[in-house]
């Protein structure tokens, strides 16, 4: 007669679809943010390391000169 399993509720399918789409959008945003951050770090790392290394070398030479 009435089998409860044969009555398919389209609202549940739409809800699941919306949740999956939202999760995919969030995952895409996180992936893009992490990729852009890594690219930014790669592009700007050598520029910021050189002055730091120069200041360390200057400090080390000043310390050895004062002894």
25 inside domain: yes
Q: What is the pLDDT of residues 26-59, one digit of tens each?
A: 999 999 999 999 999 998 887 555 555 566 666 6
CA 23 vs CA 16, 19, 31, 36, 43: distances in Å: 11, 6, 12, 20, 30
67 inside domain: no
pLDDT surpasses 90 at 2: no
29 inside domain: yes
Q: What is the pLDDT of residue 64?
A: 63
38 inside domain: yes
Look at the chain and report how many structural domains it folds into.
Answer: 1
62 inside domain: no
61 inside domain: no
Q: What is the pLDDT of residue 47?
A: 55
Q: What is the pLDDT of residue 8?
A: 79
Strand stretches in the chain, DSSP E: none
Q: Is the dihedral of CA 17, 18, 22, 25 positive or negative?
A: positive
Q: What is the pLDDT of residue 34?
A: 96
Q: Which two tokens stand for residue 41?
A: 């770090």
4 inside domain: no
Give the domain extent around 25.
12-44
Q: Which residue has the higher pLDDT, 50 or 14?
A: 14
């Amino acid at each position: 007669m009435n089998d409860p399993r044969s009555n398919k509720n389209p609202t549940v399918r739409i809800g699941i679809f919306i949740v999956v789409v939202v999760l995919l959008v969030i995952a895409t945003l996180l992936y893009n943010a992490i990729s852009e951050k890594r690219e930014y770090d790669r592009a700007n790392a050598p520029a910021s390391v050189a002055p730091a290394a120069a200041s360390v070398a200057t400090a080390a030479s000043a310390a050895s000169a004062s002894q």
